[in-house]
Chains A and B, each alone.
Chain A
Amino acid sequence: MTTLSVSGLNVWFSTEDGPLHALKDVTFDIPERRIVGIVGESGCGKSTLINAILGLLADNGEIRNGEILFEGQSDLTKLTRREMQDLRGPRISTVFQDPMGALNPVLSVGEQMINIQYRSGQSKAEKAARAIEMLKLVRIPDADSALNRYPHQFSGGMKQRIAIAMSLMMEPALLIADEPTTALDATLEVATIELLQDLQEQIGCSVMFISHHLGVIAELCQDVVVMYAGEVVERGTVRDVFHDPRHPYTRRLLECDPARQTERTRVLPTIPGEIPDLRHRPEGCVFAPRCLERHPGCDMAQSERMVAPGHAARCNLVDQSAAEGESA
């Protein structure tokens, strides 16, 4: 079963300077028990996507068409505010870059972890035991006494781990993790990734992991969705996409990753140019203005093309190279 299936999602914002097409025909799946990475640079629409899924779009935002199917049955775009509220938390939970967004500074960690179990119907002692169990799972030392401490008494890495513990406490079907390791130092980042991996296996949930860090995606995720300017430009398994990137944007992004540059160089690769103004999307391929492989065919609107089963890219070069491959 597919935990989350987004298809043909279009989100528009009305702005003073005209309508803005923030997400265009976004389609991807998050299969059960898989970790799917969403990669993209600023302005690619990651935040809009999260908000659309959670039903938290700003007032001037609107889902024009498309559906977001959760666990094969409920279309999240059609749920009422109330129904959505019941899903958020127990079924779909979130972890953000800043753990303090999830932690209340004036309540002890224990109180907060007990409070979020308000639906469970257990006794307070049982809830506290569950909280301690979760804290142990995220490797908080001295979990029993940690319950009585306040968020500011923990280091940044521990706060993020507590936030992760809280988000997984209700054993959600889907965890949306929005750059949860970006604010952490390198040594803590890898520790947190390893922890997330373990927890996901134990709880058996699906994870939508948003990051701009390709290395983290490669290590943690099984599938990857590459976004650019509000469109999915390429998607597939991490292995397919990272070993055989078919969209020029994906290729350039991978080249730019500093970790790929193992040799010392004074000239690092870059992607010149800026993302287009989403109020005036280019007629054809959205990446064409910055693409080195641009040719006349790019002036037409691009549809998603299959490269291989489960690997798709929104680029007309895919057909060409496929044709070349056949003729060769």
Chain B
Amino acid sequence: MSDDPILSVDDVQVSFPVGGLASRSAILGVAGVSFQVRPGETFALVGESGSGKTTLARAINGLQEISAGSITFEGGRIDRLGKREMKPIRKRMSMMFQDPVGSLSPRMTVGDLVTEPYRIHGSDGRDLRAETERLLSLVGLPANFASRYPHQLSGGQARRVGVARAIALDPALVIADEPTAGLDVSVQGEVLNLLNDLRERLGLAMVIITHNLHVVHHVADRTAVMYLGRFVEKGETEAMFSAPCHPYTAALLSANPEPDPDKVHDRITLPAEVPSLLSRPSGCEFHTRCPWAQETCKTVPPPPGDVTCHFPLAPGARPPELESAR
């Protein structure tokens, strides 16, 4: 396995026009983001709603135009490609969408759904019926599911069909947008196990987009946390979970209710609401919600780097008010 990145995202921005004719302006959904994914690696993009993670995923997949920066996939620039030039790329990079059932065409059978990529890109003489069976067995579904329709599937089964379709053409990279969204807890594990297993067997690289930190913990090698369209922290997943450096990461990690009624939560509560993208805060954009914020944070943007914070946290740091309460 070479160490050359399979995907390289460099300072990518995505802007959306807002307002009417009179007051036309643009907001930055993704405000300059860089990361690389190596072959066989799983990279996670974590963020809450509105953080720009799905927009970024769509930009990588060429479903969303970028306004600045560049995206390189398997050695070639893929941003600003036309539909026709993008088509061969789509054989190598597939995407799974959030809604397990809603991302499947409702009037197509499971058999037609999983072999749809062959119908688009040519089957190269493969026997589609055999191929259906192979793909269904790869994702752990019985062959007789081929004649079912999406509405006859449970969420977990539908998700498996989505996975089967995403790996049909043997891609090098799979982008999974919220792979466990809308699934029951007992099924979430199944889907994550399946993704882990396929990744090992097929040597896939993956980009997983999620708001759920637990998902990240078990599948991702590296993780980036997004806030208002920027990365606030990026690094090895294990390290980030054991010692988060950015206050936002620490708050996210502490906001996970555990099924233990006697657990003492010393939680980092974030005051205030998420600011609007229309009026980004000055200085460090997290300062309006940061329990540790200082005067500097309100005016000076944090230095670039893996942790964009003026005052990265020491391991186990507690917010000032909790600290003083002890």
**Chains A and B directly touch (beta carbon < 8 Å):** yes
Q: Which chain A residues have a beta carbon within 8 Å of chain B's beta carbons?
A: 41-42, 155-158, 185-191, 193-194, 212-219, 238-239, 242-243, 252-254, 256-261, 264-272, 274
**Are A254 and B259 within 8 A (Cβ)?**
yes
- Residues in chain A near residue B241, CB distance under 8 A: 264
B257 touching A219, Cβ below 8 Å: yes
What 0/1 readout, one digit per residue, does chain B (222-255) give for beta carbons within 8 Å of chain A? 0000000000000001100100000000011001
Contact B196 A258 (CB under 8 A): no
- What chain A residues lie within 8 Å of B48 (beta carbons)? 185-188
Q: A185-B211, A187-B251 are in contact. Are A264 and B259 (CB under 8 A)?
A: no
Stretch at the interface among B74-82, B107-115, B268-276, B312-320: B268-276
A242 to B260, CA, bound (A): 7
Rounded to whole Å, the gap between the CB of B313 and the closest CB of chain A is: 16
Taking CB atoms and an 8 Å cut-off, the chain B residues in 295-312 that contact chain A are: none
Q: Which residues of B contact A264 (CB under 8 A)?
A: 217-218, 237-238, 241
Give the contacting residue for B258; candidates A157, A215, A252; CB below 8 A. Answer: A215
- Can you list 9 A-B pairs, Cβ within 8 angstroms, ordered by A? A185-B49, A193-B257, A218-B260, A218-B263, A258-B188, A265-B218, A266-B218, A269-B189, A270-B190
A217 to B238 alpha-carbon distance, docked (Å): 28
Judging by beta carbons under 8 Å apart, are A215 and B257 in contact?
yes
- Residues of chain B touching chain A, judged by Cβ–Cβ distance below 8 Å, are 48-49, 154-155, 184-190, 192-193, 196, 211-215, 217-218, 237-238, 241, 251-252, 255-263, 265, 267, 269-270, 273-274
Most-contacted residue by chain A among B214, B215, B259, B270 (CB, 10 A): B259
- On chain A, the residues within 8 Å of B238 by CB distance are 264
B-chain residues with CB within 8 Å of residue A188 when the two chains form the complex = 48
Cβ contacts under 8 Å, A156 to chain B:
49
Give every chain B residue within 8 A of A265 (Cβ-Cβ): 218
In the bound assembly, the distance between CA atoms of A267 and B241 in angstroms comes to 18
Residue of A nearest to B48 (CB): A185
Nearest neighbor of B255 in chain A, beta-carbon distance: A186
Other A-B pairs beyond A186-B48, A186-B252, A239-B262, 11, CB < 8 Å: A41-B187, A156-B49, A214-B259, A215-B256, A215-B259, A256-B186, A258-B188, A261-B214, A270-B187, A270-B189, A272-B190
- Specify which chain B residues have a CB less than 8 angstroms from the CB of A213 in the assembled complex: 257
Determine whether the beta carbon of B218 is less than 8 Å from that of A218: no
- Interface pair A214/B267, CB less than 8 Å apart: no
Q: Which residues of A contact B260 (CB under 8 A)?
A: 218, 242
Is B273 a contact partner of A259 (Cβ separation < 8 A)? no
- Report the Cα distance A193→B256, complex, angstroms: 12
User: Which of A42, A191, A266 makes the CB contact (< 8 A) with B196?
Assistant: A266
Residue of A nearest to B188 (CB): A258
Determine the chain B residues whose CB is within 8 A of the CB of A257 once the complex forms.
Answer: 185, 258-259
B243: min CB distance to chain A, Å: 14
B255 proximity list for chain A (CB < 8 A)? 186-187, 189-190
Distance in Å from the Cβ of B81 to the closest Cβ of chain A?
34
Q: Give the nearest-CB partner of B47 in chain A.
A: A185
Hey, which chain B residues are within 8 Å of A261, CB to CB?
Answer: 214, 217-218
Distance A215 CA – B251 CA, assembled complex (angstroms): 17
Q: Give A261 to B190 CA distance when docked, in angstroms.
A: 14
Question: Contacts A158-B273, A187-B270, A252-B186 known; A258 to B263 CB distance under 8 Å?
Answer: no
> In the complex, which residues of chain B have a beta carbon less than 8 angstroms from the beta carbon of A187?
48, 251-252, 255, 269-270
In the complex, A267 Cα to B194 Cα: how many Å? 9
Interface contact B185-A258, CB-CB below 8 Å: yes
Q: Which residues of B contact A259 (CB under 8 A)?
A: 214, 256-259
Given contacts A187-B48, A260-B258, A268-B192, contact A253 B218 (CB under 8 A): no
**CA distance in complex: A216, B265 (Å):** 12
Q: Name the distance in Å between A264's Cβ and chain B's nearest Cβ.
A: 6
Min CB distance, B216 to chain A, in Å?
A: 10
* Cα–Cα distance between A274 and B190 once the two chains are bound (Å): 12
Q: Which residues of B contact A243 (CB under 8 A)?
A: 261-262
Q: Which residues of A contact B267 (CB under 8 A)?
A: 190
Closest to B268 in A: A187
Bound Cα distance A182, B46 (Å): 17
List chain B residues, Cβ under 8 A from A214: 185, 259
Most central of B48, B213, B261 by chain A CB within 10 Å = B261
Q: Please tell me if the beta carbons of B259 and A242 are within 8 angstroms of each other in the complex.
A: yes
By the criterion CB–CB under 8 Å, are B274 and A155 in contact? yes
Among B186, B212, B213: residue with most chain A CB under 10 A: B186
Asked whether A212 and B185 contact (CB < 8 A) given A186-B213, A219-B257, A257-B259, the answer is yes
Which of B189, B212, B261 sits near A218, CB closer than 8 Å? B261
Which A residues are CB-close (under 8 A) to B258? 215, 218, 257, 259-260
Interchain CB contact under 8 A, A239 and B261: yes
Judge whether A258 and B261 touch: CB under 8 Å. Answer: no
Q: Which residues of B contact A274 (CB under 8 A)?
A: 154
Q: What A residues does B196 contact at CB under 8 A?
A: 266-267
Structural contact, B259 and A260, CB atoms closer than 8 A: yes
Residues of chain A contacted by B214 (CB below 8 angstroms): 258-259, 261
A42/B186 in contact, CB under 8 A: no
Chain A residues with Cβ below 8 Å from B252 are: 186-187
Residues on the A chain within 8 Å of B265, using CB: 219
Q: A191 to B271, alpha carbons, bound, how many Å?
A: 9
How long is the Cα–Cα vector from A70 to B248 in the complex, in angstroms? Answer: 45
A42 touches B273 (CB 8 A): no
